[in-house]
């Protein structure tokens, strides 16, 4: 469990107050370190991409994923957590 595991957390939906605050609070609870954040508006849609280190033993993948998905429902945005390898495999040689 020493290798760094990275996840891409993508948040898509209508903009509103508190999205970053709520999401980062959950990440803090799961001992997740945020490596990069970018936020854009694409076709009127709020999109935020976080790249995070999820190597901590206090961060079981499924639990983090479910907590964020539940928070997403409350905030009316879609929050997804995916291991970063899929994006690296597809776009980096």
Partner 1 sequence: MIHTSEILETLRMIDHQKLDVRTITMGISLLSCVTDDEHVLAVRVYDMIARRAERLVEVGRAIESEFGIPIVNKRISVTPAALITGAIRNPVIVARALDRAADTTGVDFIGGYSALVQKDMTQADERLIRSIPEALATTRFLCSSINVGSTRSGINMNAVRLMGEVILQTAERTAEQSGLGCAKLVVFCNAVEDNPFMAGAFHGPGEGDCAVSVGVSGPGVVKAALEHVKDKPFDEVAETVKRTAFHITRVGQLVALEASRRLDAPFGIVDLSLAPTPAVGDSVAAILEEMGLETCGTHGTTAALALLNDAVKKGGVMASSHVGGLSGAFIPLSEDIGMIRAAEKGTLCLDKLEAMTCVCSVGLDMIAIPGDTPAETIAAIIADEAAIGMVNNKTTAVRVIPAPGTKVGDSVEFGGLLGRAPVIPVHKESAEAFIRRGGRIPAPLHSLKN
Answer yes or no whether residue 49 interacts with partner 1 by CB under 8 A.
Answer: yes
21 versus 89: smaller Cβ distance to partner 1:
89
| DSSP alpha helix (H) spans, the chain | 19-29, 61-75, 85-91
Task: Please state, in angstroms and rounded to a whole number, the distance separating the CA atoms of residues 31 and 27.
Answer: 6
Answer yes or no whether residue 92 interacts with partner 1 by CB under 8 A.
Answer: yes
Residue 25 CB, shortest distance to partner 1, in Å, is 23
26 versus 51: smaller Cβ distance to partner 1:
51
Task: Please state, in angstroms and rounded to a whole number, the distance separating the CA atoms of residues 19 and 16.
Answer: 7
Task: Please state, in angstroms and rounded to a whole number, the distance separating the CA atoms of residues 69 and 65.
Answer: 6
Answer yes or no whether residue 89 interacts with partner 1 by CB under 8 A.
Answer: yes
Answer yes or no whether residue 47 interacts with partner 1 by CB under 8 A.
Answer: yes
Answer yes or no whether residue 2 interacts with partner 1 by CB under 8 A.
Answer: no
């Amino acid at each position: 469990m020493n290798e760094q595991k990275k996840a891409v957390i993508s948040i898509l939906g209508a903009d509103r107050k508190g999205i970053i605050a709520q999401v980062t609070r959950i990440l803090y609870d799961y001992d997740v370190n945020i490596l990069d954040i970018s936020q854009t508006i694409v076709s009127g849609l709020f999109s935020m991409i976080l790249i995070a280190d999820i190597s901590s033993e206090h961060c079981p993948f499924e639990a983090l994923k479910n907590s964020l998905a539940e928070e997403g429902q409350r905030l009316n945005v879609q929050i997804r957590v995916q291991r970063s390898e899929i994006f690296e495999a597809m776009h980096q040689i």
